[in-house]
Chains A and B, each alone.
Chain A
Amino acid sequence: DTGVSQDPRHKITKRGQNVTFRCDPISEHNRLYWYRQTLGQGPEFLTYFQNEAQLEKSRLLSDRFSAERPKGSFSTLEIQRTEQGDSAMYLCASSLAGANTEAFFGQGTRLTVV
């Protein structure tokens, strides 16, 4: 399968714990995006990378959130000291650089903070 892969698919954690999600983009894609989707809403942009450089971060990305893409391939999104409001689907997407190229989404990681 050459699509965008996310791991884990589901994560249940206690409030205050740290969690880390992984995204493996389509191999030739140099742009990688993270979005958050809450129930009944459209995805909201969090951050994106071009190769290993993090080029934009949303105001939604508080200090407790950090994302990396160390070698320009896979990416991780870490949430420290999780809160119940962090419960959401975290989606990763990838695309080629350039104007108006298609973004492919992964299946997402469903985070539940209890």
Chain B
Amino acid sequence: QQQVKQSPQSLIVQKGGISIINCAYENTAFDYFPWYQQFPGKGPALLIAIRPDVSEKKEGRFTISFNKSAKQFSLHIMDSQPGDSATYFCAASGGAQKLVFGQGTRLTINP
């Protein structure tokens, strides 16, 4: 019940395209769903986060879509750029903010 499942494992998108990464969770006690971006040799950095009382949140080129009934959420990166090439992790937490991470998606944006 603590798992967060993330797909795809890797993704290649052309520059200017839309990158879409999906996550699913089981624990209905989760109430905070952040996305982190990680470059090689660096710690994860928060990109955007959502709470289950809204279905969508947009910050610049990044949008989270949230489906509470399906227990799924996704990250959309619009107008993807080569600098977006990184590993992306979805996560979920409840209460004490202990984060449960997905397995990660290695995103490559081809110029």
Contacts and interface: CB of A to CB of B under 8 A. Distances in A.
Contact of A33 (B6, B98, B100): B98
Given A102-B49, A103-B97, A103-B99, A42 B89 contact: yes
B76 interface: no
Interface string A25-64: 0000001010100001111110010000001100000000
Interface residues of B, number: 26
Contact of B46 (A40, A42, A91, A102): A102
Contacts of B97: 31, 33, 48, 95, 99-101, 103
Interface of B: 6, 31-32, 34, 36, 41-46, 49, 51, 89, 91, 93, 95-104
Given A48-B96, A56-B98, 12 more contacts: A33-B99, A40-B104, A42-B89, A42-B103, A43-B99, A44-B101, A45-B98, A91-B43, A103-B34, A107-B41, A107-B43, A108-B42
Interface of A: 4, 6, 31, 33, 35, 40-45, 48, 55-56, 91, 93, 95, 99-108, 110
